[in-house]
Amino acid sequence: SSITFEYTLMKGVNDHPEHARALVKLLRKLPSKLNLIPFNPFPGTEYQRSEPAVIEAFKQIVMQSGLIATVRRTRGDDIDAACGQLVGQVLDRTRRSRDHQAKLEARAHAA
């Protein structure tokens, strides 16, 4: 059994080769897997997503050490949403669907 670690990569903050090597040093003796998560920028943040080539280079450094690493595709990629935005949109759709269903049931009972 192994531990899965999540590591969010932010451009110029924690995506340099020396960060990858430090992470390898930290995790080397643990039975672990590393999920690399590209940062999903949102309005008002100063942080940016790392470039794909930088993410791949980071992953290669980790994997060359013998650790398992994957790059996770973030759910907000295709709709340009940060985590909170995505959750808000899903919850809003759920609430609207529930309200619509309640109206339909009320009409059915009234008939």
Query: What residue spans define the domains of the chain?
Result: 3-74, 81-111
Cβ atoms of 10 and 39 within 8 Å: the answer is: yes
> 3-74, what's its fold?
pyruvate-formate lyase- activating enzyme (3.80.30)
Q: Which two tokens stand for residue 52?
A: 């794909």
Residues ≥6 apart with Cβ < 8 Å to 39: 8, 9, 10, 11, 47, 48, 49, 50
Beta strand ranges found along 39-91 (DSSP E): 68-71
Q: What pTM did the predictor assign? A: 0.67
Per-residue pLDDT of the chain (111 residues; tens, 9 = 90+): 899 999 999 999 999 999 999 999 999 999 999 999 999 999 999 999 999 999 999 999 999 999 999 999 866 555 555 555 555 555 556 677 777 777 878 888 787
